[in-house]
Amino acid sequence: MEVDPSRMPIRSDAPPREERGLGARAARIDRWTLLVVGSAVLLALPVLTVFVAALHPAGAVWRHLVDTVLADYVTDSVSLMLGVGAGTLLIGVPAAWLTGVCEFPGRRLFEWALLLPMAIPAYIIAYTYTGLLDFAGPLQTALRETFGWTRHDYWFPEVRSLPGAVAMLTLVLYPYVYLLARAAFLDQSAAVLEVSRSLGAGPWRRFFGVALPLARPSLIAGVSLVQMEALADYGTVQYFGVSTFTTGIFRVWFGMGDATVAAQLAMVLLLFVFVLLVLERLSRRQARFHHTSARQQRSPRLPLRGQLGGLAVLACLIPLLLGFAIPAGVLAVWAARTAPRVVDERFLQLAAHSLLLAAGAAGLALLLALLLGYGQRLRPRPLVRLAVRGAGLGYAVPGTVIAIGVMLPFAAIDRSVDGWARDWFGVSTGLLLSGTLAALLFAYCARFLPVALHSVEAGLTRIRPSMDDAARALGATPRAVLWRVHAPILRGSLLTALLLVFVDVLKELPATLILRPFNFNTLAVRTYELASDERLADAASFALAIVLAGIAPVILLSRAIGRARPGQ
């Protein structure tokens, strides 16, 4: 395609054109550039810290770790990744094909309901199924009572195990694969499928021979996302006693008090994440080429009747029941039983903590996202782009790693300020940053900024540069353009960004556990504590509050996929 330089956007508050080119005088640093790059570096600080800390020479603890448990961490983490990847494919792809291309009873309902498991954090579904399925749980008790068995008379799968963790994570993470696979199937040109049909391919061959290979890049992207989430999980694997990197980091950090080794473990975890990230990016890029052409007449849905229709309903109903209906139902029953005892002033205080923290983090992340998004629009130079991309990587970084990356530099700052104050004034300043809400908010921003940034950028791309120019030509000053054109168009995206970060912070567990101020509790932390004390029924009210909040973004998402249906 020919690039017409005259179509490049220019805005009046941008510096003269010659300073905006690739090479020419790019060294000139203006306020916007400085602000954007500065914020981005700050947000990348946790990851950079982990890099630097991991460079320390390996001490005795690390060697001990290598000799004893490192192999376990690797095998358990890899098994978890592979298991969850396979599981989510097995559930997500058929569900996507069925709801995207076929017609069967309840299809419209399943289309969005299949997203509901996203509302449940993995650790909560783990607690719920443990309560339901372990030896003292209602299921095994009922079995024993019915058949008169005692403990050693029967075999029952152990929930609290690696396969159990795989199952739990699969049940709440398959929607990622479902969403991406569905989008891929819907984007596939109807013509390609019709051509294969005219060449004599039946429905099975159309699926395995054409649709599935075409969707492969999207599936890889989906599975990579799922595996990143699986690697980042702490609540489930910790509860089930699975030795992954995240549990290892906690053990080294709290058990052995060795920050360097924790950072080194975090570094290894980051390497895994990095591979997945590259895989995901590459597949997404490839996926674009695989989308033959959009905006076409869709071929009519393939009707499934009789037994096939029944199977289709089952394939969609089972993940919905196991991933949402049963755990949410169980939580509701437990909560109904324990709420009168549990929901007291303390509960409300915790809820208030969670809400304030989530709202604060969401507001802060939104401001930063606006700064980065707008900065990038005003100064589209390579340095700014790179900085914004860098700041956007946080979402791939597990909360545990972020927490360590925040903890180390903040502690170092505290130490040096304290030492300096003692030397000069003879007073100890103690901990200024560590263990404060500021540290926690900073960690949330570093981790969840990309969520907000994504929404803001999506909103900004809808405002074409010609809209700015049109408004200017109609007599609006640059500031008026911002208020009269940008703000109203962006409003929806900004609200979405706020909501998404809000809910993510509400659900977040490991970073909160590590960084929260002493005696400061949130809904998520309290759920974790009660579950650790085997008070699963008591945890239900806290968990249910988180799940209910989590449904809001699912609704947003389901509306978005409803709108994105081509040809409507």
Partner 1 sequence: MTPFLELIDLDVAYPTHKVIRNLTLRMSHAGIGCLLGPSGCGKTTLLRAIAGFEPLRHGSIRLEGVELSRSDWTLPPERRRIGLMFQDLALFPHLSVADNIAFGLRDWKAAERRARVTELLKLVGLEEYSGRYPHQLSGGQQQRVALARALAPRPRLLLLDEPFSNLDVTLREGLAREVRTILLREGASGLLVSHDQFEAFAFADEIGVLHQGRLLQWDSAYNLYHRPADRFVADFIGQGVLLPGRLGGEGRVSTELGELWGTPPAGCAAGEPVEVLVRPDDVVHDDASPLRAEVVDRAFRGAEFLYTLELPSGARLLCLAPSHHNHALGQRIGIRLDIDHRVMFRQGNGEGDDAGVRWGRLLAQ
* Piece of the chain touching partner 1 by CB under 8 A; list 217-225, 278-286, 309-317, 461-469: 461-469
Q: Are 93 and 177 in contact (CB under 8 A)?
A: yes
Q: Are 398 and 246 in contact (CB under 8 A)?
A: yes
Q: Does 476 interact with partner 1 (rule: CB under 8 A)?
A: yes
Tell me the closest approach of the beta carbon of residue 13 to partner 1, in angstroms: 10
Angle between helices 122-133 and 523-532 (to 10 degrees): 30
Q: Does 546 interact with partner 1 (rule: CB under 8 A)?
A: no
Q: Which amino acid is at 211?
A: A
Tell me the closest approach of the beta carbon of residue 375 to partner 1, in angstroms: 21
User: Toward partner 1, which CB reaches closer, 257 or 562?
Assistant: 562
User: Toward partner 1, which CB reaches closer, 288 or 563?
Assistant: 563
- One symbol per residue from 68 to 97: x for binding partner 1 (CB under 8 A), - otherwise; what is it? ------------------------------
User: Toward partner 1, which CB reaches closer, 17 or 559?
Assistant: 17
Q: Does 437 interact with partner 1 (rule: CB under 8 A)?
A: no
CB atoms within 10 A of CB 557: 17
* Piece of the chain touching partner 1 by CB under 8 A; list 341-349, 408-416, 424-432, 474-482: 474-482
Q: Does 474 interact with partner 1 (rule: CB under 8 A)?
A: yes
* Piece of the chain touching partner 1 by CB under 8 A; list 7-15, 62-70, 217-225, 356-364: 7-15
Q: Does 291 interact with partner 1 (rule: CB under 8 A)?
A: no
Give the Cα separation of 320 and 72 in Å (integer). Answer: 33
Q: CA quadruple 163, 168, 174, 176: dihedral positive or negative?
A: negative
Q: 417: helix, coil or strand?
A: helix
| 464, 483, 560, 566: which one binds partner 1 (CB under 8 A) | 464
Q: Does 426 interact with partner 1 (rule: CB under 8 A)?
A: no
Give the Cα separation of 402 and 556 in Å (integer). Answer: 28
Q: Does 383 interact with partner 1 (rule: CB under 8 A)?
A: no
Give the Cα separation of 226 and 173 in Å (integer). Answer: 6
What are the φ/ψ torsions at residue 286 (nearest 5 degrees)? -65, -35
Q: 102: helix, coil or strand?
A: strand
Q: Does 470 interact with partner 1 (rule: CB under 8 A)?
A: yes
User: Toward partner 1, which CB reaches closer, 136 or 473?
Assistant: 473
Tell me the closest approach of the beta carbon of residue 568 to partner 1, in angstroms: 12
| 284, 301, 381, 472: which one binds partner 1 (CB under 8 A) | 472
* Piece of the chain touching partner 1 by CB under 8 A; list 16-24, 39-47, 69-77, 540-548: 16-24
User: Toward partner 1, which CB reaches closer, 11 or 422?
Assistant: 11
**161: which DSSP letter?**
S
User: Toward partner 1, which CB reaches closer, 128 or 455?
Assistant: 455
User: Toward partner 1, which CB reaches closer, 7 or 152?
Assistant: 7
Name the H helices within 233-303. 235-240, 245-250, 259-290
CA distances from 495 to 381, 484, 487, 501 (A): 28, 18, 12, 10
Q: Does 17 interact with partner 1 (rule: CB under 8 A)?
A: yes
Q: Which residue has the tokens 């505290």?
A: 414
**Which residue in 212, 265, 128, 216 sits closest to 547, CA to CA?**
128
Tell me the closest approach of the beta carbon of residue 20 to partner 1, in angstroms: 8
Q: 428: helix, coil or strand?
A: coil
Q: Does 416 interact with partner 1 (rule: CB under 8 A)?
A: no
Q: Does 28 interact with partner 1 (rule: CB under 8 A)?
A: no
| 103, 134, 418, 469: which one binds partner 1 (CB under 8 A) | 469
**Which residue in 294, 312, 109, 303 sits closest to 191, CA to CA?**
294
Q: Does 473 interact with partner 1 (rule: CB under 8 A)?
A: yes
Q: Which amino acid is at 129?
A: Y
**433: which DSSP letter?**
S
User: Toward partner 1, which CB reaches closer, 314 or 474?
Assistant: 474
CB neighbour class for 99 (10 Å; exposed up to 12, middle 13-18, buried from 19): buried
**Which residue in 236, 245, 270 sits closest to 54, CA to CA?**
270
CA distances from 2 to 22, 238, 293, 461 (A): 18, 55, 21, 21
Q: Does 385 interact with partner 1 (rule: CB under 8 A)?
A: no
Tell me the closest approach of the beta carbon of residue 474 to partner 1, in angstroms: 3
Give the Cα separation of 346 and 157 in Å (integer). Answer: 37
Q: Which amino acid is at 355?
A: L
Give the Cα separation of 171 and 128 in Å (integer). Answer: 13
Q: CA quadruple 236, 240, 245, 249: dihedral positive or negative?
A: positive
User: Toward partner 1, which CB reaches closer, 60 or 473?
Assistant: 473
Tell me the closest approach of the beta carbon of residue 4 to partner 1, in angstroms: 6
| 132, 467, 494, 551: which one binds partner 1 (CB under 8 A) | 467
User: Toward partner 1, which CB reaches closer, 6 or 146?
Assistant: 6
| 288, 475, 518, 519: which one binds partner 1 (CB under 8 A) | 475
Q: Does 381 interact with partner 1 (rule: CB under 8 A)?
A: no
Tell me the closest approach of the beta carbon of residue 283 to partner 1, in angstroms: 31
Tell me the closest approach of the beta carbon of residue 456 to partner 1, in angstroms: 16
Residues lying near partner 1 in the complex (CB under 8 A): 2, 4-7, 10, 12, 16-18, 21-24, 462, 464, 466-467, 469-477, 484-485, 488-489
